[in-house]
Structure 1
Amino acid sequence: MAKSSPSSTTAPDTAWLGSGRHRGPEAERDVRRNLIALKAAGVIDDFLDLDPVEAVRSTDMFPRDASADPGPSARRLFEARWRVTDGVTVRAQLTTYEPASRRADSEGEVAWVLAAEAERRWEASWPSPATVFWPDSDQVAWDHDSVAGVRLRTANHLPKDDGELRRLLRECTRQSWFVHVVVHEAMTPDELGRRPVTTFLPPSLKHRVVEHRATPEQALIADFVMKRELGVGLPRGGAVVLPSTPQATGYDAERFTVRDVFLDGTEPTELLRKITEYASLPRPLPTDAEAALTRLRQGWHLLTADEELAHARAMVTRYAKALQAMTESCDLYREAAESALAALAEATGSSGPPETSTPAAVDQETAPRKAFTRRLPLFRGPNR
């Protein structure tokens, strides 16, 4: 997959979008097993496991255009449908891709893109679409960000090297689809304090947030680099939600900065509120995310029986209108041709269409002459 660039479209509040990497053998097998288990348990209504080439094949009943094509590097396409609060239906597609890079450390790596959309505004308390497709287990490494060295579901320590830190901050704010938060450890935390603060987030938000940690001795350098690269500071013992590039509408560094975060295993209420508030801001869609959302809407396969019937009726109506338009077009063409012939007849002074010589008429006119010329040799010679 190519690096994402922002589009002019704002992410809809009905959608959940994610992009990452699975590092390990048989990524599609992990998805398949999870979907089978959730369907058997009644957590999801149904799912499909599709070959990408077949998924975009167009038929008379299901015409599909280029917007439904996940691209040549797509490996597999999965769809799932489930219901949440008040029977609201969620539809989701996960597509796996060959890795964009062939570097040695990406061996066995599979890229993935997930787009989910609900029938109404998305709620953070709903189940995470990520754990509908991927097992929520530490034994399956599906949660690597597209930015190298960054993972969900853990606290990622900032690099010690200044250049690496700058690179990381730039890539996290320009390429990643996730929300990034930097927390400074005022002192080295114990086991409870090392627990990621993202574990306290609601289910649907938990897998949209990446947590970074600055060690006690990194306070000054992390603050300096972040101010220079992003225009935001990192308070000692505090935290800040990083801006995206371009910035989300309504972002202000002070608004999304927390002065004190106690890493003692207790719930950091203020920081969680800031993260939730930031995640609700209108944000520009990365180009790849916009394409994934379009594929979800235009290339959906997992229809219910009622949806299939409604689709069939819509297609019958569509083809009937097309046939009617063709018939009307033929009638107009015939009327135009008749008018042209009438105008030509009037211009030439004839009462009907111009005469033309047909092959049959030509044969009737020349037949007597041909018979006469065949008998001429009988009258030739000296005595005749």
Structure 2
Amino acid sequence: MRWPFLVPGRLRANSVCAIADVESGGVGFAIAELSHTRQEPVRILAYERAVLPHGERGARHTASASLGLLSRVGARVLHSFAVSQAAQKHGHVASAHVILRAPWYSSETHRNDSVYPKAQAIRQRTITELAEQAIRESAGSSLPFESAVLRVLLNGYPTGKPIGKSAVELSVITLSSHSSAKMNARAHTAVSSLLPGRDVRVHSGMRASLAALHEILTRTNTFTIMIVGADMTECIVVRKDEVSQHVRIPFGTSAVIRELSGANGLPDETEHLFKAAFIDGEDSKATSALREKLARAEIEYASRFGAALGSLAERRRLPNECVLITHPFFAPWLETFVTRIDFSPFTVTTHPFNVEVLQNAHVAHAVAWSEDTPPDVAISLAALFVRAYVGK
């Protein structure tokens, strides 16, 4: 059996595609123009993100409700694009890509090494065979729905262009992702029904995030990633470009909304107060009361994070560099929250995490949003991944 491997290349022409970002309790949907060269940014032409009301969530119903939300949001975005000048200028949607976020998938990395008696030229077939062997040996009876080569090392050093080079030692790091066949098929069907006749591909959130972060974070290859969604946080530990550990924490931004406003969502006045307290830094009786209320809830949040990260650190201490990915509205509070928790017993240096919030500034050179649309970092990362995938 052959798996699709990620080999970034050059897009032959500008193309328009749909990108669906499906998490537990929330959905993002965008129409993007993929530039034919990497010197031009991906352009987001239409976009919407929505979160499920608290009453529609639950272990048995969240998947169905999220897919229903995907259909509704996708239909609105496609209609908005169809009647816009952008559609007349850029043409129809040619394909679609669905990114499944936690908890709808699981991923693992594999490394396979080959040492030769003497230096020999590396061929694509050799890399593919090593990758397939590693995945096949670890998969058992459950084949992944997606696999990709993350890194190739020649004589111990990573290289982006290994084909034709000579080496005595070849190492291939691959990522394989699994999801329930039912969830995968239902997500595919939901988007296919919106775009009949188009090619629809389903990808794992880890693959999309790692591919995009590799393009953005060039200063380091060892870090801890925290992706905070509506209902769940995914922590991924990357060491020398290889995923070594990951864990999921039952906490998301919806917990903050429930704490502040109950099950009916965040009222406008509370939203403005939250912004004043944590984004604008306003100091008043009202903002102080809100901070105190959230501080009491943080004790439980910190306990969940501590238990999860402590379990990872039992095996090996965590990198201090921490990349935080979440909705921009909650980012300032989350950055303070993660920085304030004493994670020093779990880190390599025994110092707290050095937290960097992934913001639009990190991707503005590669993903262009219209001035009247607040950028969505998760969609930006997905768009960068799709450009690399389509350009293979």
Indicate the structure with greater strand content.
Answer: 2
Structure with greater Cα Rg:
1
| TM norm. shorter chain > 0.5 | no
Shorter-chain TM-score: what band? under 0.3
State the TM-score, normalizing by the size of structure 2.
Answer: 0.25
